[in-house]
């Protein structure tokens, strides 16, 4: 029988997931295509011990229904970390726990966007955000980024010419480009938005992962009441726990909370309690230093190998995070690199899904967090063979 799905689902962009799935199920392929943190750096023993303690001390509470806003001690922990790390006046009433920061994207879209409303994001932009917002059928505008972040003139033009409800950006180690906004650009963006009705949505999935260990000031510092920050434990503790948060003015959170309650009542309460126990019984900063030193080495190695083996290709040089982006030599298509790469047993992600208005046919995204240094070396040699063969043909 024909199933009459809602029109909005037809607005979901074509996904590359099927092809990625094929790649991840073949273990002989070295994949730089996905976006996984390193499994080896997840503290399985520490998290199991925290789980055991929570069950023993307060299992009945952990396994009961709870409030939509989230476990108060966890929200207090997050707020305290903002105050000490970034010097912003966070408090638990401004923090809402979500099912991974991906849920913030969906619920934010749900509470702000009517069909045809205007929303802005970076070009290239995070695929998961494109997918989440598209279901609410907005008009999505894009603003290009360079190595310093959003291009101010283009950003100003967009804000001046369209009633943009919110602008979604990733100032720290952007996905997919790996670029980080300079401090000057953050101030410029806040200046442009100040006095308008546009909210700045700062997706801070990677802010703890700077290789130099130094935090960057959020746009919120310059625009406190008009911006929100979404955060996540996925990249620093474990993505499978699905715990993230939204840090926002209480007026936004009140509405957000209604949508969250309708969606799932609350996030997994057992995981919230286990996570809080883990955080308060372990040295999070030392754990993050360890992750960052491994990712920093992998990133440098990947950059060096690209420079040595593929000098005609250009790439971003990330200050942190998990991704970099490369622009292929003239005439080489990212789709051909993907298809030929699979035969050579190396996978990269073609840039197209990150460009909603076309583009990306000459760029690829490379993940450096998941493969170890040996795999990075072998994978880059394979990639160089693929691209050099395409150049010669
Ligand atoms: C920029 C960005 N935002 C959000 C997410 C979603 O992460 P999670 O839902 O695990 O917090 C990701 C995942 O890779 C991401 O790269």
Query: What are phi and psi for residue 168, nearest 5 degrees?
Result: -100, 125
Q: How far, in Å, CA of 138 to CA of 297, rounded? A: 40
225 and 372: one domain?
no
Specify burial of residue 272 (Cβ count, 10 A radius: 0-12, 13-18, 19+): buried
Q: How far is CA 349 from CA 36, 259, 285, 362, in A?
A: 13, 33, 31, 11
pLDDT number for residue 293: 98
Mean pLDDT in order along the chain per 10 residues (393 residues)? 89 71 83 94 98 98 98 98 96 98 98 98 96 96 96 98 98 98 97 97 98 96 96 98 98 98 98 98 98 98 97 97 97 95 96 92 97 97 97 89
Q: What is the domain extent for residue 379?
A: 7-43+286-392
Number of structural domains, the chain?
Answer: 2
pLDDT number for residue 393: 86
Q: Which three-class secondary structure state does DSSP give residue 324? A: strand
For tokens 């074509």, name the residue: 14
For residue 23, is it within any domain?
yes
22 and 80: one domain?
no
pLDDT number for residue 17: 66
Question: Which residue ranges have their beta carbon within 6 Å of ligand 1?
Answer: 35, 100-102, 126, 128, 170, 175, 203, 205, 232, 234, 239, 244
Tens digits of residue pLDDT in 52-69: 999 999 999 999 999 999
Q: Which of 102, 228, 272 to mutate for ligand 1's pocket (most ligand atoms within 8 Å of CB)?
A: 102
Task: Write the CB contacts of 135 (distance below 8 Å, at least 6 apart in sequence).
Answer: 8, 9, 11, 12, 106, 109
180 and 319: one domain?
no
Cα of 294 from ligand 1 centre, angstroms: 20
Q: Which of 98, 232, 318, 354 to mutate for ligand 1's pocket (most ligand atoms within 8 Å of CB)?
A: 232
200 and 258: one domain?
yes
| Atom from ligand 1 closest to the CA of residue 244 | 11
CATH of the domain at 368: 3.90.1150.10
Query: What are phi and psi for residue 63, nearest 5 degrees?
Result: -100, 5
Tens digits of residue pLDDT in 149-201: 999 999 999 999 999 999 999 999 999 999 999 999 999 999 999 999 999 99
Cα of 330 from ligand 1 centre, angstroms: 31
Q: What separation, in Å, do the N-terminal and C-terminal C-alpha atoms of the chain show?
A: 48
145 and 22: one domain?
no
């Amino acid at each position: 029988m024909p199933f009459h799905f809602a029109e909005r689902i037809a607005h979901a962009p074509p996904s590359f997931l099927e092809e990625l799935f094929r790649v991840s199920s073949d273990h002989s392929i070295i994949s730089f295509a996905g976006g996984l943190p390193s499994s080896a750096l997840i503290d399985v023993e520490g998290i199991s011990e925290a789980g055991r303690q929570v069950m023993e001390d307060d299992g009945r509470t952990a396994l009961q229904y709870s409030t939509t806003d989230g476990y108060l001690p966890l929200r207090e922990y997050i707020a305290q970390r903002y105050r000490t790390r970034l010097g912003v006046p966070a408090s638990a009433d401004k923090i809402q726990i979500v099912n991974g920061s991906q849920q913030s994207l969906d619920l934010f879209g749900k509470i702000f966007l009517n069909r045809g409303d205007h929303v802005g994001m970076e070009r290239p932009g995070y695929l998961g955000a494109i997918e989440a917002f598209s279901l609410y059928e907005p008009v999505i505008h894009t603003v290009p980024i360079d190595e310093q972040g959003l291009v101010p003139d283009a950003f100003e033009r967009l804000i001046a010419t369209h009633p943009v409800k919110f602008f979604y950006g990733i100032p720290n180690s952007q996905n997919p480009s790996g670029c980080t906004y300079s401090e000057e650009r953050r101030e410029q963006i806040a200046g442009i938005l100040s006095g308008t009705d546009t909210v700045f949505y700062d997706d801070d999935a990677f802010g703890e992962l700077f290789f130099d260990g130094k935090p960057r000031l959020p746009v919120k510092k310059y625009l406190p009441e008009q911006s929100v920050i979404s955060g996540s434990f996925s990249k620093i503790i474990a993505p499978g726990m699905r715990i993230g948060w939204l840090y926002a003015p209480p007026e936004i959170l009140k509405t957000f909370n209604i949508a969250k309650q309708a969606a799932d009542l609350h996030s997994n309460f057992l995981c919230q309690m286990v996570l809080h126990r883990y955080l308060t019984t372990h040295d999070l900063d030392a754990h993050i230093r360890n992750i960052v030193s491994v990712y920093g080495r992998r990133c440098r190695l990947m950059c060096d190998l690209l420079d040595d083996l593929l000098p005609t290709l250009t790439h971003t040089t990330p200050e942190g995070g998990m991704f970099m982006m490369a622009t292929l030599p003239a005439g080489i298509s990212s789709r051909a690199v993907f298809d030929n790469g699979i035969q050579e047993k190396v996978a990269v992600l073609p840039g197209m899904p990150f460009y909603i208005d076309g583009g990306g046919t000459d760029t690829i995204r490379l993940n450096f967090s998941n493969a170890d240094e040996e795999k990075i070396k072998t994978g880059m040699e394979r990639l160089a063979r693929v691209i050099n063969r395409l150049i010669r043909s």
